[in-house]
Chains A and B, each alone.
Chain A
Amino acid sequence: MRILRRVWPLLLPLLAVAALAASQMMSVQVRSGQLRSKPSFLGQVQGSVAYGDRLEVLDSRGPWLQVKGEAGQGWIHSSALSEKKIALKSGDKDAATGASGDELALAGKGFNDEVEAEYRAGNPKLDYGWVDRMEKFKVDAAAAQRFLKEGGVQ
């Protein structure tokens, strides 16, 4: 018993690692995401990931996850990731080979660019021009940080 008591603490971290290795794969659920050097938007960008990319979760700190994928390793906010697998489009290879229906996000089956085009054709007065223009307003993390600093916001 004494032996076991001494050995368990050594074993527990290994158990945790084994559990992580088994289960923690997540999908990128934003069009493009950044892998950062630390768990904060202030972290340097070390790589980019795209919608549907699968990432292995290595560690977590608050809402931030340390992940590893083809683009390398880094930290990303958990709101950019989903536990579901994401089928990029109906008819895609992934849509037919997902492990289970539960894991399959129905990306191609609902509302997509094709449906938007159909909707626009039926509603020609909609102002998509300004929607496209406002989507081009971009503020990166460094600019946001500068803005706060200059305004004395802390």
Chain B
Amino acid sequence: MMTILRKPVLLLAVILFMAGCTAVTEIGTQIGTGSGLISEQEGESLKRVSNAAIKSFEDITPEQEYYIGRAVAASILQTYPVLENDAANEYLNLLGQTLAMASDRPETFGGYHFLLLDSDEINAFAAPGGLVLVTRGMVACCRNEDELAAVLAHEIGHVQNKDGLRAIKKSRWTSLAAIGLEEGMRNLGNEDLQAVAEQFSGCIDDIAQTLVVNGYARSQEVEADASAVLILGNVGYNPAALAGMLGEMDQRWDPKGPGFARTHPSPSDRLGKVQALLTGTAETAQPAVRAARFQGAVGGI
């Protein structure tokens, strides 16, 4: 028995030792850099790696995404007035949060927050990080809570897929790299700060231009609809509500109109793709309580 056990125990000891070494190496590197044990040359290469790290939207940290999202929302709110209706906004946030929690990305740096816009235009915007703005005109395309859930789930899909960040032009990263962010080891000097703020402003313009004027690629809209179908199903709303909402939107659709008409594929175009995902589920009658609270909160806006 003893001989049987000895080998595995030895093997285990080796494994545990190796595991320990990995941790020790990591800590060692930290101590090394902190105490100046790593050479200047190594330090330089470390900086270069760090410097090269912002080269695409994927390198944006959640905190940076948060500041970008705030600025995008602030920029949209410059054009669209807010619908100051506490009950309606509270309802929108309850609905939106239940959906966000069932998405692939329930956690963002600053969390998901939803706000109604006082505009007849059919439109909705998802700023990076989870600030979602929905117009009165868009809510009017929703005949029940499930259909409004479909609108919010589509916007959450854009946040989850980081579509806003993808709209940032590649040249912004090149320009940011050119500012020489290795200086970032200490606080930014005034000149660097201005230069970074200028690029920040450029990123916001790229995203706002996409959200308000050009729209995302058709494939990104199809993807957001597919995310919405999944999210609705996860929560327990009927995914067919997305098709129902698109049908209703199609009735109100003015292809030459502002807002969604400019930035989105036509509802009938999206409807075809969505129906392929639904596999035969039809919209069902709303429970009385759900229908009543929907009417009470947003029916009259």
Q: Given A33-B107, A115-B193, are A137 and B89 neighbors across the interface (CB < 8 Å)?
A: yes
Query: In the complex, what's the smallest C-beta–C-beta distance from A84 to chain B, in angstroms?
Result: 8
Min Cβ gap B18→A in Å is 8
Q: What A residues does B212 contact at CB under 8 A?
A: none
One of B19, B64, B89, B201 near A110 (C-beta < 8 A): B64
B residues 59-118 near A (Cβ < 8 Å) are 59-64, 66-68, 70-71, 73-75, 77-78, 82, 89-90, 93-98, 101, 104-111, 113-115
How far does the Cβ of A1 sit from chain B's closest Cβ, in whole Å? 12
Question: Assuming A63-B104, A96-B185, A119-B200, is B50 touching A104 (CB within 8 A)?
Answer: yes
A131 to B42, CA, bound (A): 43
B220 interface contact, C-beta 8 A: no
User: Is B104 touching A131 in the complex (CB atoms < 8 A)?
Assistant: no
A77 to B241, CA, bound (A): 28
A3 to B6, CA, bound (A): 12
Contact assessment for A14 and B94 in the assembled complex, using a CB-CB cutoff below 8 Å: no
Interface size classification for chain B: 35 or more
A123–B201 touching, CB < 8 Å: yes
Whether, in the assembled complex, B176 has its beta carbon less than 8 Å from a beta carbon of chain A, the answer is yes
Q: Determine whether A58 belongs to the interface, using a CB cutoff of 8 Å to chain B.
A: no
Contacts of B178 in A (CB 8 A): none
Per the bound structure, the CA–CA distance linking A130 and B80 in Å amounts to 11
- Over the window 1-42 of chain A, the binary record of Cβ atoms lying under 8 Å from chain B Cβ atoms (1 yes, 0 no) is 001000100110011001101110000011101000000010
A112 touches B201 (CB 8 A): no
Interchain CB contact under 8 A, A30 and B108:
yes
Given contacts A30-B108, A97-B30, contact A134 B71 (CB under 8 A): no
Within 8 Å of chain A (Cβ to Cβ): is B276?
Answer: no
Q: What are 12 A-B pairs at a CB distance below 8 A?
A: A29-B63, A31-B110, A41-B101, A79-B104, A101-B48, A107-B61, A110-B196, A115-B193, A130-B82, A139-B93, A141-B101, A152-B289
Chain A interface (Cβ within 8 Å of chain B)?
3, 7, 10-11, 14-15, 18-19, 21-23, 29-31, 33, 41, 51, 63, 77, 79-80, 82, 86, 90-91, 93, 95-102, 104-116, 118-119, 122-123, 125-128, 130-131, 134-135, 137-139, 141, 143-144, 147-148, 150-154
Chain B interfacial positions (CB closer than 8 Å to A) = 4-5, 7-8, 11-12, 15-16, 18-20, 22-23, 26, 29-31, 33-34, 45-50, 52-54, 59-64, 66-68, 70-71, 73-75, 77-78, 82, 89-90, 93-98, 101, 104-111, 113-115, 131, 145, 176, 181, 184-188, 193-194, 196-197, 200-201, 203-204, 235-237, 287, 289-290, 293
